Amino acid sequence: MSNSFCRLVKKAAACRVCPRLADQPAVLSSANGSLNADIIFIAEAPGRFGAGRTGVPFQGDRSGDNFEILLKHIGLTRAEVFITNAVLCNPLAEGNNRRPTAGEIKNCSTFLKESLSIIQPKVVVPLGTVALQAMNLILGTRFQLSQNVAQPLATADFTLFPLYHPSPRVTNWKRPLAQQKKDFKKVLRLIKPG
């Protein structure tokens, strides 16, 4: 790990800014993937059965299983990408996952911004509305998932490519896994043209 990333990991581990998340560990470590990645995937927040338990983004729950299927579909491995969350700690309400608040997303955006600065990816893929909201906050944009899904959006430093989250709820009701596989193929073309 680079010195700057080590410092960021320590800073995230020590963060207690969000009162409702203060007891939850921040999921940010070498387990997030490659610091030389051309692509960063951003999810919502660690899930209680997934990253909140394993310490590895998109691992240990059904969303993680679907993400693995999508990554494998385009011939990429975790070692080739970097995976993080809009909010690094698992938001819980009465023992269940809850959506992060706007304040929590804003508080955690500094960690996301620093991760982007350290890794300097070619492509950033926010997975779902919360991740896109975090990127809008950083970029000062107003992109919407319903209007901008699977569209390459040029920014000063990288291509933003918003996609739906691979959770079972989304794959069952909004964006089937078959369509998400097609979306991921478009991601691959952005980092490996031709």
pLDDT of residue 115: 98
What pTM was computed for the model? Answer: 0.95
CB-based burial label for 96 (10 Å; 0-12, 13-18, 19+): exposed
Phi, psi of 125 (to 5 degrees): -115, 100
Which strand (E) or helix (H) includes residue 132? helix 129-139
pLDDT of residue 194: 64
Dihedral sign for Cα atoms in the order 14, 15, 20, 26 = negative
Place of tokens 């700057």: 4
pLDDT of residue 67: 96
Token pair for 162: 């918003």
- Domains annotated for the chain, with CATH where assigned, are 3-191 (3.40.470.10)
pLDDT of residue 135: 98
Listed as ranges, residues in the chain with pLDDT below 70 are 194
For residue range 60-101, list pLDDT tens digits in order: 889 999 999 999 999 999 999 999 999 999 887 777 778 899
CA distance 32 to 55: 9
